Structure 1
Amino acid sequence: MINKQQIGEALKIIGDMFPDAHCELNHKNPFELVVAVALSAQCTDVLVNKVTKNLFEKYKEPEDYLKVPLEELQNDIRSIGLFRNKAKNIQKLSEMIINDFNGEVPRTREELVKLPGVGRKTANVVMSVAFNIPAIAVDTHVERVSKRLAICRWKDSVLEVEETLMKKVPIDDWGVTHHRLIFFGRYHCKAQRPSCEVCPLLEMCREGKKRMKVKKENVK
């Protein structure tokens, strides 16, 4: 595994590559972000944004989601995977926000994860993006990049990846680090075809060096 100094160097390079990394889920307030992130499970941000463009015009407040039959909400998000379960969760979390949190999205992880369909990752996104509370959300991109760069161990769980990043990254940088790792994984260090040949992190990346070695051997 690489040390804290190397992690800092790697994150600086990634920051130079993606200085404008940000949350790509369109939203205007914390509640819309909760809904968008809940919809994004096993789905691309691009598709979620297509759906929420009309969804957020129709449903402005938690109360609006409870005014329609479940079947109508399901139909409104039908193009998204797992739409039936997600529609149920949106109605349930809307009801809980109204009844348990006075109509406001809670700010703590402990309260956020009580909302149906909201796990630790979603809670961390909401805390960081909506409320500017330091948190690192580990999605598939953050996990993949962290393991390829040997910031974490291959066998580490998502929670262990999060805990390692929290230990090795200054707390003030948690939010921006989360977004930059996502952009790096989404647009450069992709799951199937990472851009190892042109990667400025190749010399410190165990996965990249391994892939390039195999590629050279196959050329012989």
Structure 2
Amino acid sequence: MTIGEEILRRLRTQYRIQAEEYVSLYTHLQSRDPFRVLVATILSQNTTDKAALNALKTLERDVGLTPPAILEAGKRRVEKAIHIAGMYRSKARFILEVSRIVMERYGGDMWNVLKGDAEGVRERLMSMPGVGGKTADVLLATLGIARTVPVDTHVRRVSARLGLVDEGASYETIRKRLEEVFSPDSRHLAHLLLIAHGRNVCRARKPMCRECVLNDLCKYYREIRKNQL
């Protein structure tokens, strides 16, 4: 059994994936609409999935979740609707600019943005305002277009503490390393489980190392124990 398989085996005994705890996954399962998933993922930047989901629902109720509806509403109405998600001014600008691009370049159909090979689609997405590597990867992994491991703050922290990657490694370095650790079919699940573990046990402050099912695999825990001797 590889280290990736062992990590997943143990984490699966601890967590049951609840879609509503992952705004991009929840939005995909509810709508199967890639534009909605992209908006949800933009809203989730630098905030909790709960806040992002609340903002998404308010945006849908007060404005609508299509490019034409968002463009017709304008900046102030979008800002008001997504205020709870934080950084609402920049997020509103990104959502409006992405809506305009989808309308003007892709006939209003987000699926047209997603045509072609996964790497080309990723580059196309990352050329859009507010869409960096993580946002593009979350969208592509959630839709099943690319088999990758999006790297958020929890994935980064857990991976570094386990010793899978170096502290301070770049986004792309971590992503590529995790693609080596986890098999293609398990990468999206790995992303979700690592987030769950980072939220619940391997927290930024006061991690629950003694209770962690991965502590015998963990570089961080070994160093703590060594320093206590």
Q: What TM-score does the superposition give when structure 2 sets the normalisation length? A: 0.85
- CA–CA distance in structure 1, aligned partners of residues 109 and 129 of structure 2: 15
Q: Specify which of 45, 50, 63 is matched with residue 46 of structure 1.
A: 50
- Greater CA drift, 53-62 or 158-167: 53-62
Q: State the 4+ residue runs in structure 1 displaced beyond 3 angstroms.
A: 211-214
Deviations 1:52-98 (A, max 9, x none): 11212231311101002312211222222211111111100001111
Q: Is the 8 A contact 2:126 2:132 kept in 1?
A: yes
Equivalent position to 1:118, from 115, 125, 131: 131
Name whichever structure is richer in helix by fraction: 2
Alignment size in residue pairs: 213
Q: Which has the higher contact order (CA 8 A, sep 6+)?
A: 1
Matched ranges for 1:1-220 at <5 A:
5-20=2-17, 22=19, 24-25=22-23, 26-27=26-27, 28=31, 29-57=33-61, 58-105=63-110, 106-107=113-114, 108-212=121-225
Q: Distance in 2 between matches of 1:89 and 1:117?
A: 5
Per the TM alignment, residue 167 of structure 1 is displaced from its structure 2 partner at its CA by: 1.8
Amino acid at match of 1:14: L
Query: What are the Cα deviations for residues 86-145 of structure 1, in whole angstroms up to 9, with x where unaligned?
Result: 111110000111111222222221221122111111111111112453121000001100
Structure 1: distance between partners of 2:155 and 2:219: 16
CA–CA separation in structure 2 for the residues paired with 1:140 and 1:95: 30
Deviates more, 1:167-176 or 1:13-22: 13-22
In the alignment, the residues of structure 2 paired with residue 174 and residue 101 of structure 1 have an alpha-carbon distance, to the nearest angstrom, of 29
| CA gap 1:21/1:206 in 2 versus in 1, 3 angstroms | farther
The letter of the residue matching 2:191 is H
- The alpha-carbon deviation at position 207 of structure 1 amounts to 0.8
2: CA distance, partners of 1:43 / 1:116: 18
Structure 2 alignment gaps of length 5 or more: 115-120
* Counterpart secondary structure, 2:204: coil
